[in-house]
Amino acid sequence: MLLFAPAKSVSVGVGVGVGTALISATLLLPHPQKDALPPPAAPVIVTSPEVLNLDALAAQGEALLAKARAGNGSVGITLANYKGHYTMLTARTKSGGGELHQHYADFLFVIAGEGTELTGGTMLNPKDLPDGEVRGTGLEGATPHALHKGDVIHIPAGTPHQAIEAPGQTITIYVIKVCEPEVQAQ
């Protein structure tokens, strides 16, 4: 099932379909495997307008929720890569830890379900990861934002945030991650 209207994509100057872009994007995700595979090809960059169908995203989100329930409570996939941003679909059945992205702002569009997104405050037990990513066990002094289907929240780069799911809650979110240029101190 395609989530997008047919459109052309470009990878190193060669046109491919969006289906190929989606398959290529999922190859970028880590997969536990016994045998080492060659590194994945460079991400396909989508350069044509696309139309998204929210019902199709919600259906794909249901499959992700099933995986989240069977796993650690959170599953996310990259849908497409663009110049300066990329899109994801995430599904949660449990709360996550604190996170902060130095180089990316998040636009979160709630496709289904509900939950709370904490923003700001102080990261507890922060651990620096590559590429300006920080993870922690939670946030202290953060502002809660109740989210429901149809809500959108923008989280600027450098802002601590954390997804909270109360028992029985689930949430499916379409995410746009926008690369923000580094600001030089004056």
What domains are there in the chain, each with its CATH number? 52-179 (2.60.120.10)
Q: Name the residue among 185, 181, 184 with its Cα closest to residue 102.
A: 181
The pLDDT value given to residue 184: 52
Per-residue pLDDT at 129 exceeds 70: yes
DSSP structural state of residue 73: S
The pLDDT value given to residue 83: 92
| pTM for this predicted structure | 0.75
CA 101 to centroid of chain Cα atoms: 12
Least confident of 35-39, 57-61, 64-68: 35-39
pLDDT band at 45 (very low <50, low <70, confident <90, very high): confident
101, 177 contact by CB (below 8 A): yes
Instruction: Give the N- to C-terminal CA distance of the chain in Å, as an integer.
Output: 50
Length of the chain as a residue count: 186
List, in order, residues 6 or more apart from 54 with CB less than 8 Å away: 111, 174
The pLDDT value given to residue 47: 86
Stated as kind and residue range, the H or E segment containing 22 is: helix 18-27
Cα distances (Å, whole numbers) of residue 104 to 131, 133, 179 = 10, 9, 5
pLDDT band at 19 (very low <50, low <70, confident <90, very high): very low
Q: Where are the alpha helices (DSSP H) in 45-157?
A: 54-70
Cα distances (Å, whole numbers) of residue 6 to 21, 46, 86, 98 = 11, 12, 18, 37
Stated as kind and residue range, the H or E segment containing 20 is: helix 18-27
Q: Where are the alpha helices (DSSP H) in 28-116?
A: 54-70
Least confident of 29-43, 44-58, 73-87, 91-105: 29-43
pLDDT digits (tens, 9 = 90+) for 67-123: 999 999 999 999 999 999 999 999 999 999 999 999 999 999 999 999 999 999 999
Write the single-letter amino acid at 92: R
Q: Give CA–CA dist 4/25, Å, rounded.
A: 14
Query: What b-and-e string marks burial along 13-41, b requiring 16 or more CB atoms within 10 Å of the CB?
Result: eeeeebeebbebbeebeeeeeeeeeeeee
